[in-house]
Amino acid sequence: MTHASAATIAPDLALIEQLAHAAVMALPEPWRKAATHVVLRVEDFAPQDILDAMEIADPFELTGLYEGTPLTEKSVMDQPTGPDVIWLFRRPILDEWLDRGDVSLGEMVAHVMVHELAHHFGWSDEDIAVIDPWWE
């Protein structure tokens, strides 16, 4: 494969996952360590059952999703039902990144990741703005 043809290949699932992990490692403590306990899943698109449950017809409308119980709502009395999961959807992320044209792919993935972590941690918009100023 020549260098020119390699430059035309879309970023793959592994790269999106790598960028998401880098975003977690860039978080300030105490969030960084806690965020490493959330399972990360990267897929091209949201599974159809998720889209149906959210009543989303166009899979390009969903860049990420948090599945779990926010830490602000958990109790020591709760029975665990499984790990909290953040889903990132590669194709919608790439489309939004290309449409914006003013941020790096790493910034785009970090932005989606921080938004989903906000659901997990129960962050306010002000909390998000401290961690992800691009959010504003």
Instruction: Identify whether 42 is part of a domain.
Output: yes
Positive or negative torsion for Cα 120, 125, 130, 136: positive
pLDDT at 82 over 80: no
Report the pLDDT value the prediction gives residue 26, as an integer from 0 to 100: 93
Residue 47 lies in a domain: yes
**Predicted structure pTM score:** 0.85
Contact 5, 94 (CB under 8 A): no
Nearest to 65 by CA among 15, 128, 112: 112
Higher-confidence residue of 129 and 80: namely 129
Instruction: Read off the pLDDT band of 61 (50, 70, 90).
Output: very high
Domain count, the chain: 1
DSSP strand E in the chain: where? 39-43, 64-67, 85-89
What's the rounded mean pLDDT across residues 54-76?
A: 87
Is 3 inside a domain boundary?
no
- What average pLDDT does the structure give for the chain? 87
